[in-house]
Amino acid sequence: PEWTGVRVRNTFFSFFEERGHTVVPSSSVVPHNDPTLLFTNAGMNQFKPIFLGTIANTDDLAKLKRAADSQKCIRAGGKHNDLDDVGKDSYHHTFFEMLGNWSFGDYFKKEAIEWSWELLTKVYGLDPTRLYVTYFEGNPELNLEPDLEAKELWKSAPVVPCSEIHYDKVGGRNAAHLVNADDPLVVEVWNNVFMQFDRQEDKSLKPLPAKHIDTGMGYERLVSALQNKDSNYATDIFTPLFNKIQEVTGARPYTDKYGKDDVDGIDTAYRVVADHIRLLTFAISDGAAPNNEGRGYVVRRVLRRGVRYARKYFNAEIGSFFSQILPALVEQMGEQFPEIVKKQQDVKELLDEEEEAFSRTLDRGEKQFEKYAAEALGNGSKKLSGADVWRLYDTFGFPEDLTKLMAEERGLSMDEKEIAEAREKAREASKAVKESSQTFAKLNVHQLAELKDQLQLPPPDDEPKF
């Protein structure tokens, strides 16, 4: 294609470089300085200390007035979670790149709006009649006025006003009513944020000493618009991954079909696997190894989700499936993100280890399932008991949808009410355990206080929080 993914990214950088911006590297997808955040989910994350005025003078970023970059983002847990859309829609990924330009107390709305328009229509050459923009219409509850300034600025461009930019992939029609309507052919491409107020505790708005610009553009969405594709997955960002998946599994080629049109479910599985290998590789490279809590648990769940699709739709053998796709991703994205080249071997080892462990869980669960199924068929009930279904999940870690699938294959029914009862019973039992351990924890606080007395420690500033 004329606008290869690589060219799109580099053009973004040079456009803002020519306008006085420093192109900075993406920050890690594991936010090291922000415990409130599961994963980096927007370009602005690494600049938050600048906006809040809490950045250290020694920080390299502190000197910047204007910056641009492509930020690695993950939205698969916490406040932003697009995981359930992945496979199903054409424009949400769990891992994606967010292109951004920033002004820290330097230029403001006028330049930001004019440049975004110039870049999209003059440089990238997108058809202006297919672009729709929105402006902030105010919020009386929060005492916020409509952003008439943005409205006026946008008006000087030949469009309807706003701070989000949407692109209509069909064209030649008025698609204004489709903006924000979840239509896959009218996509939000770019979000411009104008920071000018600081909300006070009493909800009043105090103008900031300096005004800032924060923008975020979905790289995969932009590339798909420029390559004239209905879907992000039909671009050269995903093709090398699909080719590799095909080579490894021997599946039919990818055809970019969705929902009912994806008759055999194979296209959906292609999207899930290609999306998930991206998340897994970048998360693990940045230090988020799969485990049982927090972000490690998100990584584990994403891997298991991918493995189940690969098993079911590609008949793939589990144990080293993802690591066979890995080289195609490293080849494609390693130049922009050298960390995945450096960490390739570690990523491979962790993926294999995690997959093998999951494969053992599946094997064990399947054996157990066979036992329960034989019992049910033996006593002529033709029904898998709710307690058995629950035990497969709870004790053996066997996914419920696999149980369902296997039960169907053997003509065994499952009773949702019985399963719910078993689940409820288990919950009550674990509640009782929790309550008794809370008593224990309280006891410890007490003992701790006593111990402090004995050691003659100064009294604590605050009441202990537990």
- The residue type of 359 is S
Please state the closest distance from residue 330 (CB atom) to ligand ATP, in A. Answer: 21
* Burial grade of 76 (CB within 10 A; 0-12, 13-18, 19 or more): buried
Q: Which phi and psi (to 5°) does residue 112 adopt?
A: -60, -45
State yes or no: residue 218 binds ligand ATP (CB under 6 A).
yes
State yes or no: residue 83 binds ligand ATP (CB under 6 A).
no
- Coil, strand or helix at 146: coil
Own/partner long-range contacts of 157-160 (Cβ < 8 Å, ≥24 apart): 157/113, 157/114, 157/117, 157/128, 157/133, 158/128, 158/129, 159/128, 159/131, 159/132, 159/133, 160/132, 160/133, 160/134
Other C-beta atoms lying within 10 Å of the C-beta of residue 433: 10
Please state the closest distance from residue 94 (CB atom) to ligand ATP, in A. Answer: 7
Q: Name 81's bridge partners.
A: 76
At 95, list the tokens. Answer: 């891992």
Q: Is the dihedral of CA 309, 332, 24, 13 positive or negative?
A: negative
Q: What is the chain's Cα-based Rg?
A: 26
Taking CB under 6 A as the binding criterion, the range among 93-101, 291-299, 371-379, 451-459 that sits at the site for ligand ATP is 93-101
* Contact in structure between 249 and 65 (CB atoms under 8 Å): no
List the single partner that 93 binds among Mg ion, ligand ATP, none, CB under 5 to 8 Å by kind: ligand ATP
State yes or no: residue 92 binds ligand ATP (CB under 6 A).
yes
State yes or no: residue 75 binds ligand ATP (CB under 6 A).
yes
Choice between 217 and 407, CB closer to ligand ATP: 217
Please state the closest distance from residue 141 (CB atom) to Mg ion, in A. Answer: 20
Choice between 233 and 358, CB closer to Mg ion: 233
- Coil, strand or helix at 424: helix
Taking CB under 6 A as the binding criterion, the range among 183-191, 241-249, 255-263, 418-426 that sits at the site for ligand ATP is 183-191
DSSP state of 141: G
* Contact in structure between 361 and 396 (CB atoms under 8 Å): yes
- 311 to 370, contacts with ligand ATP by CB under 6 A? none
List the single partner that 384 binds among ligand ATP, Mg ion, none, CB under 5 to 8 Å by kind: none
Range list of H helices, 227-343: 239-249, 266-285, 294-314, 321-333, 339-342
State yes or no: residue 191 binds ligand ATP (CB under 6 A).
yes
Taking CB under 6 A as the binding criterion, the range among 108-116, 216-224, 372-380, 455-463 that sits at the site for ligand ATP is 216-224
Please state the closest distance from residue 417 (CB atom) to ligand ATP, in A. Answer: 36
**Candidate residues 169, 221, 295, 308; the one interacting with ligand ATP per rule CB under 6 A:** 221
**Of all residues in this chain, which one has the CB nearest to ligand ATP in the complex?**
218
- 186 to 215, contacts with Mg ion by CB under 5 A? 188, 191
Tell the residue number behind the tokens 């490279």, with chain if given: 285
CA dihedral 298, 300, 301, 307 (to 10 degrees): 150
Choice between 223 and 412, CB closer to ligand ATP: 223
**Of all residues in this chain, which one has the CB nearest to Mg ion in the complex?**
191
Taking CB under 6 A as the binding criterion, the range among 8-16, 88-96, 260-268, 443-451 that sits at the site for ligand ATP is 88-96
State yes or no: residue 276 binds ligand ATP (CB under 6 A).
no
Contacts with Mg ion, 171-190, as mask; x by CB under 5 A? -----------------x--
- 310 to 349, contacts with Mg ion by CB under 5 A? none
**Candidate residues 216, 290, 365, 386; the one interacting with ligand ATP per rule CB under 6 A:** 216
Choice between 169 and 343, CB closer to Mg ion: 169
**Residues comprising the chain, all counted:** 466
Residues that bind ligand ATP (CB under 6 A): 42, 75, 82, 92-93, 96, 98, 188-191, 216-218, 220-221
